[in-house]
Amino acid sequence: MKRDILTLGDVTREELAHLMDVAARLKGDRKHGRRHAWLQGRTLAMIFEKPSLRTRVTFETGMIQLGGMAIYLGPADILLGQRESVPDIGKNLSLWVDAIMARTFAHQSVVDLATSSSVPVINGLSDLYHPCQVLADCFTLRELRGDLAGMSVAFVGDGNNMAHSWMLAAARLGFRLTVVCPEGYEPHPDVLAAAHALGGTGVEVTHDIEGGTRGADVLYTDVWASMGQENEAEHRRKVFAAYQVNAKMVANAAKDVLVMHCLPAHRGEEITSDVIDGPHSVVLQESENRLHVQKALIAWLLGVKEAQ
């Protein structure tokens, strides 16, 4: 039976650990020049409603490195839900390709693709979740610190799709997560309830910047205004000004705190250049690891024996 990955709630703790094991193997093999043709003859359709650097390059490169190919479908190519319905697009793509990745505005578009498609669908980003990024982030933390259980992560900023995926990751992997945000910018209550239902007893939301980041093992942030919120950017800069990840916040966290950002970063807004380029930052390692975890994810979803 086909599987879809729309949120990190779609995979168990054991499956997440397995995917990170496969990603570690693929990363090591690439470092040592070992190549695999696991996806020879396989094709991934990539639907983009939003611009992309990391998502497009890592998915397309990953398919090529595993012997397959990817087809880029930009915003004007299929006009998702406009030229024809999302379910019709999903049904048609299923006739030609082996998997679909979609980077959309509305999360419902990804849900509709998954419901109508007979091939696996991966959420490459929606306004509600960004599971591939957070899977890469968790893999990065495992590389650097080992078992995530008991770790303390402070997500500082908007309660957005990144915060939502971190909440589900914390519930699945057993680490503590504090979303530190201004009043009125909290994560969606349904997502918080879902995280708690999955066992995320260590997932909480606070407006207390100093208390929420004190002693944190990880400081994570994202842009204050996401794509589609450009008209709110100036107002958000004022609301979020005190939530900037800077040297003072780093000093309030654990001595060996890791600083993370999903990129692209607005330097001088949600994070200062001295911090994102500083000794605590692991943002480029996160970025690299998008490639490895997505290769593992595609191979696993397509039933490749070596990835099972």
Beta bridge partners of 103: 48, 125
133 is catalytic: yes
130 is catalytic: yes
236 is catalytic: no
* Helix/strand/coil for 99: strand
Which residue of the set 36, 107, 222, 236 is catalytic? 222
Distance separating alpha carbons of residues 233 and 240, to the nearest angstrom = 10
* DSSP 8-state code for residue 198: T
- N-to-C CA span, the chain: 14
Query: Sheet containing 218-221: which strands, arranged edge to edge?
Result: 203-206, 176-180, 152-156, 218-221, 258-261
Which residue of the set 54, 56, 176, 290 is catalytic? 290
Which residue of the set 107, 130, 142, 176 is catalytic? 130
189-197 and 161-173 helices cross at what angle (nearest 10)?
Answer: 10
Distance separating alpha carbons of residues 259 and 251, to the nearest angstrom = 12
Beta bridge partners of 179: 155, 205
Which residue of the set 36, 42, 56, 103 is catalytic? 103
Distance separating alpha carbons of residues 69 and 250, to the nearest angstrom = 42
Tokens of 69: 């190919």
Name, in order, each residue with C-beta under 8 angstroms of 221's C-beta and a sequence gap of 6 or more: 155, 156, 157, 243, 245, 260, 261, 270, 271
* Helix/strand/coil for 58: helix
Which residue of the set 132, 138, 181, 262 is catalytic? 262
Provide the annotated active-site residues: 103, 130, 133, 222, 262, 290
